[in-house]
Amino acid sequence: MGAWSHEPFGNDNACDWAYGLKDKSDYSTIEEAFDQIIKAKATEEYLDADYSTEAIAAAYALVKASGKSTAEDAYTNHVDEWVKRVQEKPSVELVNKAQIALNLALTEDSELYELWAETEDLGVWKETVTDLIEKLK
């Protein structure tokens, strides 16, 4: 059985994504996650859940790199280690991409939104994502 919770790393895809930060010391993996969902929105009618879960995980990492507090769990260790290696703060452009990506994840044509809408925890999940958006402001 896979992981499933409203937290940024509460799913298998986001946990797998976090491993990709292991040897990184820049924002390339973070930016790729945002670019992926933004590009998908421009070319596809329906956003695959994986795009959203990775964008949410990347936004968590960006918030953490900005020095703002976030929830922690076993999978945030990879993010914490990555933050120690990143030397500069995120650019305004990257933060803007993050906000766009998170707002796309919250749209009704997002598969992840649809999956959460089928549960009684849609509000909790939306609150988690909007909290990340607020922390990026």
Q: Tell me whether residue 7 is in a domain.
A: no
Q: Tell me whether residue 129 is in a domain.
A: yes
- Structural domain tally of the chain? 1
| Helix (DSSP H) and strand (DSSP E) numbers for the chain | 7, 0
Sequence-distant (6+) residues with CB within 8 A of 2 are 11, 12
Q: Tell me whether residue 95 is in a domain.
A: yes
Q: Tell me whether residue 69 is in a domain.
A: yes
Q: Tell me whether residue 3 is in a domain.
A: no
CA distance linking residue 24 with residue 117, whole number of Å: 34
Hunting for tokens 């020095």 — which residue is that? 67
pLDDT for residue 77: 86
Q: Tell me whether residue 26 is in a domain.
A: yes
Q: Tell me whether residue 87 is in a domain.
A: yes
Low-confidence stretches of the chain (pLDDT < 70) are 1-3, 72-75
Q: Tell me whether residue 59 is in a domain.
A: yes
pLDDT for residue 1: 32
pLDDT for residue 103: 98
